[in-house]
Structure 1
């Protein structure tokens, strides 16, 4: 593992990039325009990345080149010129609807790792299950029912299943998952959007969330894995294809086994840095705030090489 990718300077660079994107998106909180908020975050993050001394490539971005003029998969960012070669996964604004409606838990999110070590996940859905650190390997299994996973978590934690809380995206497609979780008496914590934040909740005891289960975006799965890798959590995912076009998209990024079950270390194959800055207030992070001519941000940055998690609060004049 090249130490240059995870040195202190690049950790701080990651913080600056997500801060800048979060501030740009914050200016459009509550204004009802999802696309404008997302574009503002994209533009700000791209500008910030191109100001860094890195040789970076977007492997998880805003879509494929023809669909996304900014931060598309395969786009080169940074000044290059001998800088560290980095794979970058990002979501400049996770929670565009949350931002447009001034709802909780919108984030600017980014992860990076040495070139060739992040799964180049296609823009499809993924079945996911995740838990935080401190549990024996294999405590969760994507091939088991949600109820069975709840019971496994409860046994590992030494509590009754009624003491387990499961975070699930509030979608009609998750009705069976919700019913399975509730069949053993566990609590269900529903979120409207933002499954990167949902997975991250499992890693913070203060949220009360033990388990994340459900189907969401595959790119967000890679971002979530980078965060969990930094704290020793567990994750399993399997790509979901709805049509031939999505399978063709997967083939273009080198995926041929459409039924493969990935674990965390197959999706993030080396040490990584993960950074997230709050846009709106949430369970993990405070949103951007403006007070007396200053803008305040709250960021969490993680480094899997050192298993460190830092909170960074920044105050700067507007």
Structure 2
């Protein structure tokens, strides 16, 4: 993929923050990244290196630009297919020996990026890979906000296996309130605790949740505190990350969503700080028994460290449609502009990157599609 390098010092035009970075790093020249000071040692061939982050962002940029051609066109399957193909083409160039732990499905049901597929160029560190070429396919098809292309990478064997139970009851919040929230508490109590820590009223708290019939009682409980609710139709990865970041106006994510999305979110939370807690939520008796037979404790609260055991992981996302987290792809005169977030847990560095692409020079992405 060829990006317009005039925008890169990517990092020069990036917004950088690190919750574990020394304050002095914030005063570095714009062309010097904090990682240089935080990671002085030469990387091991078996450990994901900081340079991997900028390789990964090219993968999500490709998926977003391909899927973005289908925004508002009413065909979520073709949007997803385009994003998968673009992601698959670019991921093979990344210097890693990756195994897809969370992908597009099992091998027999998905032609690309299936669970267990080996990805990368065969060199570099061994890693677990989680991909969602479009988190929010319906959002993309309808031209609605908050569709993103996402990818997470961590040390091999460190990601939770989501195969037993597809859904999970989740709570996500940012670093400021991470120590006071608890998924075992009533939602109203969590709202009140957040308000107290932030020295606000419950009416000032905003909770995001998926707009599903199963959340009607939960929504009533939250509203009874006076708190506001932002209902989203899809895309709970973007919703969860928005709850963990300070600048989005979202304080808390609650409710039942996909287990794979929970693991991807956990990689982001490792980078941002904050908290994700989850409990497996079987859809029926058969799935419940399958989980029990596999040795899962359905009452156990899964923490961030349960979902991703490694402290060296990456999260990358590129906006497809505009949202609280990222701007969507812009196309004009054979060019595209993308907005991405790149995070690494080991340094705590968060970058927001704007890239400018010449489409007829960008691998696998013709000037017009469809």
Q: Which runs of 5+ in 1 are unaligned?
A: none
Q: Where does residue 84 of structure 2 map in the other structure? A: 42
CA contact (8 A) 1:276 1:300 kept: yes
TM-superposed deviation, 1:179: 0.5
**Partners of 2:93 and 2:87 in 1: how far apart?**
10
Runs (4+) of structure 1 exceeding 6 A deviation are none
1:299 and 2:299 matched? no
1:28 and 2:70 matched? yes
1:234 and 2:275 matched? yes
Q: Where does residue 118 of structure 2 map in the other structure? A: 76
**Partners of 2:217 and 2:205 in 1: how far apart?**
18
Partner of residue 194 from structure 1, selected from 230, 235, 240:
235
Partner of residue 8 from structure 1, selected from 47, 50, 55:
50
Give a deviation string over 1:228-279, Cα, whole Å, max 9, x none: 1111111100111123553576589x65333321011111111210000001
Provide the secondary structure at the position in 1 that maps to 2:175. coil
Larger Rg: 2
Provide the secondary structure at the position in 2 that maps to 1:235. strand
Provide the secondary structure at the position in 1 that maps to 2:177. coil
Provide the secondary structure at the position in 2 that maps to 1:143. coil
Partner of residue 262 from structure 1, selected from 299, 302, 313:
302
Q: Which runs of 5+ in 2 are unaligned?
A: 1-38, 360-370
For 1:140-179, list aligned pairs within 5 A.
Answer: 140-179=181-220
CA contact (8 A) 2:206 2:229 kept: yes
**Partners of 1:75 and 1:297 in 2: how far apart?**
28
CA contact (8 A) 2:245 2:272 kept: no
Aligned CA-pair RMSD: 1.9
Partner of residue 115 from structure 1, selected from 143, 156, 161:
156
Q: Where does residue 27 of structure 2 map in the other structure? A: none
**Partners of 1:200 and 1:179 in 2: how far apart?**
23
**Partners of 1:197 and 1:3 in 2: how far apart?**
32
TM-superposed deviation, 1:69: 2.2
TM-superposed deviation, 1:73: 1.3
CA contact (8 A) 1:6 1:305 kept: no
CA contact (8 A) 1:6 1:303 kept: no
Provide the secondary structure at the position in 2 that maps to 1:92. strand
**Partners of 2:196 and 2:348 in 1: how far apart?**
26
**Partners of 1:168 and 1:248 in 2: how far apart?**
28
